[in-house]
Structure 1
Amino acid sequence: MSHYSTNIETAELGENGLSKKAGWITVYHVNQDTGEYQSASMEYLMPGVGLPAHSYPDKPELPPVGQALHRSADGKSWEFSPDYRGQTVYRTETRQEQTVTQFGELPDNVTPRKPESEFDAWDGKKWVLDKEAQAAAARKVAKQELASRKAGAASRMNELTYAVNLDIATEEEKAALTEWQKYAVLLSRVDVNATDIEWPEQPQ
């Protein structure tokens, strides 16, 4: 019998997780925080020595696309979980966009469905248009526009009124004052609650 050997000695683990026999063993490493599989390596174990921390001797099956491979919570087996990392999701309360950074099921307060407008609200299954919010926003914009137009008209009428009161207004300025006064009256009739506002034409 030859005293040479070309075989690689394989370590044997006991029930206590320690090596009963010196040799090499393939181990599979996981992330210490998430339990996600990271890599495999060959380790040489002396008798009575255990595996490196966060490592396991059982070979995992590779997950299908879209799944993450990780150790179970009790550390006894390998598991698959959905992996949406890198994908964009939207918070159902605020429509705020964010990128998924962890594997696992999506939280209940996010969805991969993109809202179509800033007035969409989540009904539990899909985005629906919040018509009241949309109308309120339109009223706010209309009020701001009306206030701006009225301020501009008042400023111009004051200038022209000074000229008329001082009896130094030209005929063009007198006519312009009349036009701006008409414009101010038309502005006062604008209904900011209307769905389609027709703004009066501002005098030149």
Structure 2
Amino acid sequence: METQKTVYSYHPQTGEYLGSSQATLSPMDPKEFWLVPAFATEQEPPQPGERQIAVYDNQTWMLHADWREVPLWSKADARQISAIIGDTPDSLNATELQPPAFAAWRGDAWGVDSAAQSAAQAVAARRQVQERLTAAYQNRRPLEDAAELGMASSFELSRLEDWKRYCVQLSRVELLPMWPKLEEEDWPRQPI
């Protein structure tokens, strides 16, 4: 007489197969009454294929799609999304292909959204202009104070003129033909 029987456990919410264990005969009724743990069944689950999982539902095992461990990106907005049991890339309108920066889905592959890329580059360039102007004004202020008080030397007046010229050049970088794709050598040179 058997004293143990294999049973198959499943998750209480999702029903996904968790593994097998052994049920034992009841000490109160050792004539074939098995103590099967909660959320377990004597029915053996089917063998899942690639990206599938066995799920116990309505007293039976079924195979469902399982893309939970695969990184997926939405074709609509290029954000990474998480699948749940039963989801597929098609049902989520997603792809396994990782998008580049400023991605736009173009039929069967990612492309670059040039307008979004240019807009982001313009925002970054304007932020850099502002940062450089802020630093320039901090350098100018003591020289301007000295000039207003009549205390500036000819060297300080020359430096003040250099800083003012630099600020004007910074304020005009948006007029450069390569805007907003500026390389370091495209920026006005900061006075020494």
Normalising by structure 1, report the TM-score.
0.66
After superposing the two structures, state which structure 1 stretch, 38-47 or 168-177, moved more.
38-47
CA drift at 1:85: 3.5
Give the Å deviation of 1:125: 4.5
Whether 1:75 and 2:59 are equivalent positions in the alignment is: yes
CA 150–60 in structure 1, closer or farther in 2 if over 3 Å, else same? closer
1:1-204 alignment runs, 5 A limit: 8=1, 27-37=7-17, 38-39=19-20, 41-42=22-23, 44=25, 52=36, 54-71=39-56, 73-76=57-60, 78-92=61-75, 95-97=78-80, 102-106=84-88, 108=92, 110-117=94-101, 119-122=102-105, 125-191=108-174, 194-197=179-182, 198-204=186-192
Percent identity, aligned pairs only, is 28
Would you say how many aligned residue pairs link Structure 1 and Structure 2? 180
Is this contact kept in 1: 2:54–2:63, CA < 8 A?
yes
Amino acid at match of 2:112: L
Q: 1:201 offset after TM fit, Å?
A: 0.4
Contact 1:143 1:192 in 2 (8 A): no
In structure 1, stretches of 5+ residues that fail to align are 1-7, 10-22
Bigger helix fraction: 2
Shift of 1:169: 1.8
Q: Which has the higher contact order (CA 8 A, sep 6+)?
A: 2
Return the letter of the residue paired with 2:127.
Q
What is the root-mean-square deviation in Å for CA atoms of aligned residues? 3.6
Structure with larger Rg: 1
Alpha-carbon distance in structure 2 between the residues aligned to 1:159 and 1:68? 71
Q: Structure 1 residue 69: deviation in Å?
A: 1.6
Structure 2 unaligned residues grouped into runs of 5+: none
**Quick one: which amino acid aligns to residue 35 of structure 1?**
G
Distance 2:175 2:116 in 1: 15
Q: How far 1:25 sits from its partner (Å)?
A: 6.4
